[in-house]
Amino acid sequence: MEEKFFTVAAFEFPADVQIVRGKLESEGIPVFLKDENTLNSDPVISDAIGGVKLQVYTKDKDRALQIYNEIRAYAVGDDGEPIICPNCKAQRSEAYYERKGLFYKLFPFFEKRKYKCLNCGIITKPE
């Protein structure tokens, strides 16, 4: 049986998803926010449940991903400049956390930040 919904992205806080939601809805794509009300009542548990999931119907997946990729914010360094992938030189990286091991699953804020290039997939540490 085919999945009815596709998760486009997950956001740490409910407010973070609203711009993407508005853009997708303005393009005629129905949007569903999974766990939004849970995090509105207790935002501290965001890491534990994986944040607010922005979902669309599976039939709208490709169009939604295309729109999301056009407007998404990519990672920037402490100097405000985009993170450049050392492998392919693309400026399309996002913060990445592995959350390996029980300690980092329980205390994700202790894990050192890494960046994942959305172009080639390489994972790097900030300089």
| Order of strands across the sheet that contains 52-57 | 5-11, 52-57, 31-34
pLDDT tens digits for range 8-56? 988 888 888 998 999 999 999 999 999 999 988 888 887 788 889 999 9
pLDDT tens digits for range 60-119? 999 999 999 888 777 787 788 888 889 998 888 877 777 777 887 777 777 787 888 888
Helix (H) or strand (E) holding 122: none
Q: Give the model's pLDDT for residue 8.
A: 92
Residue 52 buriedness (CB in 10 A; 0-12 / 13-18 / 19+): buried
Query: How far is it, in rounded angstroms, from Cα 106 to Cα 57?
Result: 32
